[in-house]
Amino acid sequence: MTTIINNIFQLFAERGHRQYVEDVTELQHALQCALFATHNHEPEAVIAACLLHDYGHLLHDLGEDIAEQGTDAKHEELGANQLAPFFPPAVTEPIRLHVTAKRYLCFRQPDYFQGLSEASQLSLKLQGGVMTEKEAQTFAQNPYCAAAVRLRRYDDAGKIKDFSTPDLESYRTLLVSLLRS
């Protein structure tokens, strides 16, 4: 089962250098999100979800500027689906829902949209835009809603240039401990 962990780490080694937004790479973004979750004493599953939430971006080969091309790669679904056979829903469902959480926060907190990066504002349009009242009510009933919203907050924060984090290897034991038996 640790083969999946090796595969994840290999993919980060091969593609983690890709620019995520403004001033950070995919790997830097993932490490920042996981570190922020750790500092906020999140459960281990949420820390893992933060680390792996954009795994789907590493899986597709559509380039770094797909939103600017008008394409939604549905990276959240791609990543969650690839990880679901190996990790429990407490890890994969917040990953699957972190884009939905952005839509939800834009509905619940109208000023939230203004705080999104330019890239995130652009991708929001491709991802369905701001939720409707009915969509928000349905999402709020999801058992992983709260974890997905917290992940989303770390996602928004994890874009700091030259921010020092532990390396990817420091998360190996955590990820192994969360693998399905």
Res 68: pLDDT: 52
Which amino acid, residue 170?
S
pLDDT in the model for residue 2: 79
> Which CATH architecture is the domain 2-178 placed in?
Orthogonal Bundle (1.10)
Q: Give the pLDDT confidence score for residue 71 in this predicted structure.
A: 47
DSSP-derived secondary structure for 29-59: HHHHHHHHHHHTT--HHHHHHHHHTTHHHHH
Do residues 11 and 27 make contact, with C-beta atoms less than 8 angstroms apart? no
The pTM of the whole model exceeds 0.85:
yes
- Tens-level pLDDT at each residue, the chain (181 residues): 679 999 999 999 999 998 866 689 999 999 999 999 999 999 999 999 999 999 998 987 655 555 555 445 678 899 999 999 999 999 999 999 999 999 999 999 989 998 887 777 887 887 888 999 999 999 999 999 999 999 999 999 999 999 999 999 999 999 999 999 8
